[in-house]
């Protein structure tokens, strides 16, 4: 394995603090005002350091890599123009500069055509993926379904009877995958009393408070019901952790090792990824994976290659076809919600966001604070962006980023069809 921070030329010690993180965790020990802690790591400015150092704040499982697949360089992307969501014109780099970009990488036809890092990141640095993690688990579910270990139509209580008294009673694996359970769970990051906050404390992402359930699985069993299963799409991180529980139960293998065996090694990742775990040792697939930009790009490449990597099927092709062309009702379950205002014409399927692209549906993996994989099969383009937005959600940043991704795909597609001139 080789990676930048192991290069002999970097082997000399150096105390320089990277740009973008000046003042954070400086000194031995750092003074109180510059400390990044379990209490503040998700808040600005601390998140800029925190998202690259999650394992230093929270216990974690490794997700072992295997033999690295090549990631060859291609002709540089350049700096295409972008029309921002407010109608103003900009360049790709303008958008990246203005949206707290820690890492940015573009693959075209499997070749790296753009790669840049900021805030101290290198090609070897793992960055928190937040809910991009969900799409990775979703692919592992696809493999388990393909092997007959999970039945999409079965109620989750067939696998995890412990939640029979919770709001999950009656919800199917399909409901979980598409976030169409009726479970009462508010994913409101700015509301201190929302369920997502209690869950974050139960899973060790924030300091525990008296009365919190200890561990994600005990927490899931406490959730109530807020409506029928199979209805509208409503984004619930808890549904992904519930999926993870079912995966562990049917395979007998921990989520970290499942992802390693079914996804991370097959795609040819070059560095071990990692995933935070709770006080019971349970990994957190709803948002706890950290990985390098290059390995996340390999994941994206597998998505545009119909589930194949290194000449072998990783995720059954039919699984991704279904994401791009789901059964009736999936689009409607999305169109009827506020999500339609942000991602018009989109849907959510099997832990992926899907949006219309110039050449067909584009798979998008999204995580709060600006984490993204944009996998455009028609344009044979993968865009990875890792960020440290000050806020969990920011529609302008998101939409300008998606505009940029579309511009990149268009630029790359136009370039290859243009006549070659000297």
Indicate the DSSP class of residue 56: G
The number of beta carbons lying within 10 Å of the beta carbon of residue 360 is: 12
Q: Min. distance of Cβ 49 from a copy of itself in angstroms?
A: 10
Q: Give the residue with the Cβ less far from a copy of itself, 101 or 260.
A: 260
Indicate the DSSP class of residue 99: T
40 binds a copy of itself (CB under 8 A): no
- The span from the CA of 391 to the CA of 109, in Å, is 33
23 binds a copy of itself (CB under 8 A): no
145 binds a copy of itself (CB under 8 A): no
Site for a copy of itself in 311-370 (CB under 8 A): none
Whether cis (ω within 30° of 0) applies to the bond prior to 45 is: yes
Those residues with Cβ within 8 angstroms of residue 22's Cβ, 6 or more apart along the chain or in another chain: none
Q: Select from 112, 144, 57, 100 the least CA-distant residue to 296.
A: 112
- Residue of 60, 88, 131, 260 marked catalytic: 131
Q: Min. distance of Cβ 255 from a copy of itself in angstroms?
A: 9
Q: Give the residue with the Cβ less far from a copy of itself, 159 or 348.
A: 159
| 210 burial level (CB within 10 Å; 0-12, 13-18, 19+) | exposed
- The span from the CA of 304 to the CA of 312, in Å, is 14
Q: Give the residue with the Cβ less far from a copy of itself, 53 or 174.
A: 53
Q: Min. distance of Cβ 251 from a copy of itself in angstroms?
A: 5
Indicate the DSSP class of residue 172: B
78 binds a copy of itself (CB under 8 A): no
165 binds a copy of itself (CB under 8 A): no
Q: Judged by CB under 8 A, which of 18, 20, 68, 146 binds a copy of itself? A: 68
Q: Min. distance of Cβ 215 from a copy of itself in angstroms?
A: 6
Place of tokens 């493999």: 143
25 binds a copy of itself (CB under 8 A): yes
Active site includes 131? yes
CB contact at 8 A, 236 and 179:
yes
Here the tokens at position 255 are: 């989520």
**Phi, psi (deg, nearest 5) at residue 388:** -130, 55
76 binds a copy of itself (CB under 8 A): no
- In three-state secondary structure terms, 61 is strand
Q: Give the residue with the Cβ less far from a copy of itself, 28 or 341.
A: 28
43 binds a copy of itself (CB under 8 A): no
Site for a copy of itself in 224-283 (CB under 8 A): 245, 248-249, 251-254, 257-258, 260-262, 265-266, 270, 272, 277, 279-282
- The span from the CA of 124 to the CA of 361, in Å, is 31
417 binds a copy of itself (CB under 8 A): no
Place of tokens 């935070």: 276
Q: Judged by CB under 8 A, which of 14, 33, 417, 421 binds a copy of itself? A: 14
How many chain residues are in contact with a copy of itself, going by CB under 8 A?
60
CA 101 vs. chain centroid, Å, equals 15
Which residues are near a copy of itself by CB under 8 A? Answer: 1-3, 5-8, 10-15, 25, 28-30, 35-38, 53, 55-62, 64-68, 124, 215, 217-218, 245, 248-249, 251-254, 257-258, 260-262, 265-266, 270, 272, 277, 279-282
Residues known to be catalytic: 131
């Amino acid at each position: 394995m080789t990676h930048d921070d192991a290069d002999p030329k970097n082997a000399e010690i150096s105390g320089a603090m990277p740009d973008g993180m000046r003042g954070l965790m400086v000194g031995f020990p750092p003074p109180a005002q510059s400390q990044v802690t379990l209490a503040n790591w998700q808040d600005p400015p601390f998140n800029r350091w925190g998202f690259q150092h999650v394992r230093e704040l929270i216990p974690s499982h490794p997700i072992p890599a295997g033999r690295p697949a090549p990631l060859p360089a291609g002709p540089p992307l350049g700096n295409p123009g972008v029309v921002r969501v407010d109608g103003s014109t900009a360049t790709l780099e303008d958008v990246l500069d203005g949206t707290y970009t820690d890492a940015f990488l573009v693959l075209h036809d499997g070749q790296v055509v753009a790669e840049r890092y900021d805030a101290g990141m290198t090609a070897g640095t793992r960055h928190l993926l937040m809910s991009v993690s969900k799409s990775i688990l979703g692919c592992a579910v696809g493999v388990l379904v393909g092997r007959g270990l999970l039945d999409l139509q079965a109620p989750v209580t067939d696998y995890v009877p412990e939640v029979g008294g919770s709001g999950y009673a009656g919800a199917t694996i399909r409901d979980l995958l598409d976030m169409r359970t009726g479970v009462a769970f508010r994913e409101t990051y700015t509301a201190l009393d929302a369920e997502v906050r209690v869950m974050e404390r139960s899973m060790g992402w924030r300091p525990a408070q008296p009365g919190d359930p200890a561990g994600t699985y005990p927490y899931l069993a406490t959730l109530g019901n807020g409506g029928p299963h199979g209805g509208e799409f409503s984004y619930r991180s808890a549904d992904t952790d519930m999926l993870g529980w079912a995966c562990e139960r049917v395979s007998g293998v921990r989520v970290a090792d499942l992802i390693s065996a079914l996804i991370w090694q097959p795609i040819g990742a070059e560095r071990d990824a990692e995933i935070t775990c709770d006080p019971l040792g349970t990994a957190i697939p709803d948002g706890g994976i950290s990985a390098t930009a290059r390995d996340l790009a390999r994941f994206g490449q597998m998505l545009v290659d119909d589930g194949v990597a290194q000449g072998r099927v990783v995720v059954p092709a039919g699984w991704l076809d279904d994401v791009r062309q789901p059964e009736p009702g999936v689009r409607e379950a999305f169109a009827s919600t506020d999500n339609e205002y942000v991602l018009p014409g989109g849907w959510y399927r099997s832990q992926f966001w899907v949006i219309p692209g110039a050449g067909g549906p584009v798979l998008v993996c999204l995580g709060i604070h600006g984490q993204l994989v944009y996998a455009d099969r028609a344009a044979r383009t993968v865009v990875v962006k890792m960020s440290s937005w000050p806020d969990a959600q920011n529609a302008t940043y998101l939409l300008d980023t998606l505009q940029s991704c579309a511009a990149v795909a268009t630029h790359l597609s136009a370039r290859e069809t243009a006549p070659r001139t000297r």
